[in-house]
């Protein structure tokens, strides 16, 4: 069975509380339940990880080597600032898909730049929770 690592970055743990008009009223626990259901339907195993720290996210990506067949990552604000996260993704060689709940191409100018995108085979943005299940489908169809 394929093993997929799902990484969520800073403030994603505050879903439901945080700017609900942008990110929705559902909580991080609701997101985890949604991801688990999508994984079950797709017949893949998932591990979900969330951190507010860039270094912890880099550590988690590094630890995926030899453990996971795919990575789904919503680096949140680090999308627009971090070079270490795409470097780590490239270092692992594991296929990765970038997900954003909101449509980052249609918000503030500074959100239009994603350093993560160049380390990912696909980016899914603006589809809310559904983006994570699409990412599972993308990774399920790739052999690694």
132 is catalytic: no
Q: Is 76 in the site for ligand DQA (CB under 6 A)?
A: yes
CA angle 116, 106, 82 (to 5 degrees): 20
CA distances from 19 to 4, 42, 107, 134 (A): 28, 31, 14, 24
23 is catalytic: yes
For residues 22 and 33, which CB has a smaller minimum distance to ligand DQA in the complex?
22
Q: Is 27 in the site for ligand DQA (CB under 6 A)?
A: no
Q: Is 11 in the site for ligand DQA (CB under 6 A)?
A: yes
> Which one of 78, 100, 110, 144 is the catalytic residue?
100
Alpha-carbon gap, residue 113 to 104, rounded angstroms: 9
Least spacing, CB of residue 100 vs ligand DQA, in Å: 4
Binding residues among 77-136 for ligand DQA as defined by CB under 6 A = 77, 79, 100-102, 104, 111
Alpha-carbon gap, residue 124 to 137, rounded angstroms: 12
Alpha-carbon gap, residue 97 to 74, rounded angstroms: 9
Q: Please select the residue that binds ligand DQA; options are 38, 74, 82, 116, rule is CB under 6 A.
A: 74
Question: Which range of residues in 36-44, 48-56, 57-65, 73-81 is near ligand DQA by CB under 6 A?
Answer: 73-81
For residues 6 and 69, which CB has a smaller minimum distance to ligand DQA in the complex?
6
3-state secondary structure 41-106: HHCCEEEEEECCCHHHHHHHHHHCCCCCCEEEEECHHHHHCCCHHHHHHHHHCCCEEEEECCCHHH
Q: Which residues bind ligand DQA (CB under 6 A)?
A: 11, 74, 76-77, 79, 100-102, 104, 111
List active site positions. Answer: 23, 100
């Amino acid at each position: 069975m394929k093993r997929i690592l799902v990484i969520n970055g800073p403030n994603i743990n505050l879903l439901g509380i945080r700017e609900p008009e942008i990110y929705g009223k559902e909580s991080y626990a609701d997101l985890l339940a949604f991801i688990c259901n999508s994984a079950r339907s797709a017949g893949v195993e998932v591990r979900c990880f969330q951190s507010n720290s860039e270094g912890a996210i880099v550590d988690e990506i590094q630890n995926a080597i030899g453990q996971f067949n795919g990575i789904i990552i919503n680096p949140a604000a680090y999308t627009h600032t971090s070079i270490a996260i795409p470097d780590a993704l490239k270092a692992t060689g594991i296929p990765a898909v970038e997900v954003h709940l909101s449509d980052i191409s249609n918000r503030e100018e500074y959100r239009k730049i994603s350093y993560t995108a160049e380390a990912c085979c696909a980016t899914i943005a603006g589809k809310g929770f559904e983006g994570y299940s699409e990412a599972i489908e993308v990774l399920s169809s790739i052999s690694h």
